[in-house]
Structure formats: structure tokens, C-alpha cells
Amino acid sequence: MDKSNGLRVILFPLPLQGCINPMIQLAKILHSRGFSITVIHTRFNAPKASSHPLFTFLQIQDALSETETSTHDVTLLLTLLNRSCESPFRECLTKLLQSADSKTGEEKQRNCSLIHDSGWIFTQPIAKSLNLPRLVLNTYKVSSFRDHFVLPQLRREMYLPLQDSEQDDDPVQEFPPLLKKDLIQILDKETEILDSYTKMILETTKASSGLIFVSSCEELDQDSLSQAREDFQVPIFTIGPSHSYFPGSSSSLFTVDDTCIPWLDKQEDKSVIYVSFGSITTISEAEFMEIAWGLRNSNQPFLWVVRVDSVVHGTERIDEQLHEKGKIVNWAPQQEVLKHRAIGGFLTHNGWNSTVESVFEGVPMICLPFEWDQLLNARFVTDVWMVGLHLEGRIERNVIEGVIRRLFSEAEGKAIRERMELLKEKVRRSVKPKGSSYRSLQHLIDYISSF
């Protein structure tokens, strides 16, 4: 850490794996530049304070039951969290600021800003009443975050002849590079809670002092940035990929199975297909078996992350033949896995963190997206950057086997790897001195320091 600059930043992450990691990565970056760090967090999915002894952690009660926190409906979970955490957060933040004001001498730290995840929608009036500048942190691709605010309007207007299956592969002009069949999946979702929540995110973001895209860089989002600045009318900082500043550092909510690394050490270079669908996605037992046999029949060694709660009705039918060819773990150190010489491909749900980590390590992707931003990210991977192959939602063993063979054994896969190598180098340059993300980070630090 550089010498302390006398400034304290207060961070408030959402209690989801894909949100906590980027927030803690930002905390490490800011701490290395002289800021003191306080993290306010929920009881549910609390980050491991012992892993970050240089930060102060303050826990608030979320009052959610085990049934509520175990739901697979993420929008419902976030709605419940926002409802139950507003008062505890206000009380915690108020006490924190009052305590800081009472200190003197070397102990005194000026609280210069609050940075919270975009999913917290009650913070604006609280921060304003306490005269605390507030920035919003976002873990999505810039275009995903900007475009999803239009979805409620599209639903109200009954957009597109969605039932015309012959046009499923046509592009959506308003959402390039989405196809109509992608939009069908998005607009099919239950909307009342989601649309209300989305509106509040937009209002909270527009009222902030700035917007931080912690996993994006100009090289991956150049076309969307100018429009986003016009839409939000606040300073925007694209500082990603943030994990690159502290490689290998993770704040996993799951117990990592490190035995996968010695197993990878025994495999040939670029021979292994890594499979992970993130920390939230669930699949049926039938889908699990189709993926399993697609992997087995491809004849490529595989490393597959299967969370305990990720398969509906369990995985009792795992065959010994699967274990002979691959390794299945409950959770893996993903950054370490993706940079391993043995990894030759990544079968992914295309969450933005996973997508960027794959690009940063130059690992081609096989795309199986499930939700809104994942569908858009996957189209960028396959149709814009052309560094992966798309399963088009077909969870069938013969399709999965065929796509893996195309990536590992055919000329098409070789061309994909060459394009991925070029994209990797562009993104890696962004975080080096004089790179776009490096400059944006410096602008962010200067901005926060000016409050």
C-alpha cells in the first residue's frame, strides 16, 4: 500500500458471488492507492473478513429467512434484500460517519465517498441526507446495463412479431447483436417486479455522482460508452478487467476445491474443456446428463464445476466413465484455472465476469447463456469478436459433442484461437500504463479524492 492519503471509501456490495468479487477487487485497488476501506455488508453471504485484514468490515442484519435466501429467483431475492436492508444500512452508515467525526489527530479519516452496487436502490436519499458523495458500481458490460432499461417499454408495446419462428435468427435493430430468438427469452420473463426494480436502478444511477464499470474497458465497449455518457449524464469510469490488478485474488463465497490444479498439471497443453455456469444458474437433471454425455463423447478431458445446489433433483446418476475422462468439483479457483496451460476452451453461461476473465487469458468459449445479459454477452463473443461458438440453447449431447470437436479439432477452432489471441492482447494493454483502463482508474482516483 502507498502511504495513506487520509481518505476513507465506504463500499456496499450486493451479497452475490458475481458482485462481491469485483467490489473487493476495487477495494484492493483503492487501498493500494492510499485509501482506507470500510465494507458494509449483509449477514447473508457475508464476505470473509479474515481474508482481508487491512479492511474494516461492518455487518448489517438483513432479516431474511433461510427459505427467502435459498430462492433461485434472483430478482425476488434482491427485492427482499432492498426492502429489509434500508433501515439497518442507514443506521450503520450514520453511526460510522458520526464515529469518524468524533476522532482526532492521526486516527481521523475523512469519509470521501460511498460506492455501492447498482442493485442497491434505496441509497440515494440516505447518502444525500448525510452529505456523502455516492458512486454506483456495475459488474455488467456497458451495453448490457444501458440497454436493459428499454426492456419494460418493449414489453408494454408488445414489441416484434415474436411468434414468427421463421424470423428467429433475424437481428434486433435496437439491441445489436441480439437476435429475435434471444429477445423472446428475455421478454418472456415475469415482468412486474423486474420492471419496477429496473426503473429504480435507472433513477438511482442517474442521481449518483458517477458510474464505475469495474469489469469493462473501452476495447470491449467502445461503441456503447459515448451513448451511456449521454444517457446517464454522470462521469463514467471503465477500469476493467479489475481482477488483473491483483491476479488470483478472489473472495469466493464457496469452498474452493484446489485439487483441480494438480489434476490440470497432468493434462496436455490446451486439451481440457473447462465447464462452469457461475454461482447462480441451475439446470435440470436431464440437462445435466446431456451435458455430461456430450463432454464424455467428445473425448476431451474436462474440468466441470457442479455446485451442490446447481442441479435440480441432484446428480446421483453420474457414471464412472465420466470420472475416467474428467474431474468434477463443487467450486474451482476460476482465474487460476483459466490461466492454466492445460485449458483449451471454456463452456460458460457468459456472465460478464467469466467472459472477461476468459478473454483476458485468451481462452475460446462455447456459449450457453441463460439470462438477459448473458444472452447479449454470448452474441458479442460469437458474432462480433468471433472468439467462440454458440450452442443456441440446445442442451443435447450430440450438439455439445460436435461443438467441442469443432473448437478443439477443426480449422474453425484454430481461427477462433487466433482471433482470441489478438483480442486478449488488446484487453491486456488496457490495464498497462497509458492504457485506457489505467487512465480511467487514475481519473477515478482523482475524482474520489476531490470530494
CA–CA distance from 224 to each of 59, 135, 236, 273 (Å)? Answer: 36, 20, 12, 32
Q: CB under 8 Å to 268, separation ≥6 — which residues?
A: 342
Cα–Cα dist 233/203, whole Å: 12
Domain 7-240+431-449, CATH number (from 3.30.590.10, 3.30.1330.30, 3.40.50.2300, 3.40.50.2000): 3.40.50.2000
* Assigned C-alpha cell, 71: 430462492
Asked if the domains 7-240+431-449 and 260-429 are classified in one and the same CATH topology, the answer is yes
pLDDT digits (tens), the chain, 451 positions:
557 899 999 999 999 999 999 999 999 999 999 999 999 999 999 999 999 999 999 999 999 999 999 888 888 999 999 999 999 999 999 999 998 777 766 667 888 999 999 999 999 999 999 999 999 999 999 999 998 888 887 777 755 555 554 568 888 887 889 998 898 888 876 677 888 899 999 999 999 999 999 999 999 998 899 999 999 999 999 999 999 998 766 677 889 999 999 999 999 999 999 999 999 999 999 999 999 999 999 999 999 999 988 887 666 666 666 777 899 999 999 999 999 999 999 999 999 999 999 999 999 999 999 988 999 999 999 999 999 999 999 999 999 999 999 999 999 999 999 999 999 999 999 999 999 999 999 999 999 999 9
pLDDT of residue 404: 98
- Indicate the fold that domain 260-429 takes in CATH: Rossmann fold (3.40.50)
- DSSP assignment of 266-285: TSPTT-EEEEE-TTT--EEH
Query: Hey, what amino acid is at 193?
Result: I
Q: CB under 8 Å to 140, separation ≥6 — which residues?
A: 213, 215, 216, 352, 373
Query: pTM for the complete prediction?
Result: 0.94
Which of 47, 42, 2, 44 lies closest to 21 in space, CA to CA? Answer: 47
CA–CA distance from 249 to each of 22, 25, 51, 171, 338 (Å)? Answer: 10, 8, 10, 39, 14
Using the structure block, give the residue that is written with the C-alpha cell 456430450: 294
pLDDT of residue 167: 61
Where do the domains of the chain lie?
A: 7-240+431-449, 260-429
CA–CA distance from 176 to each of 171, 173, 189, 223, 232 (Å)? Answer: 7, 6, 20, 11, 20
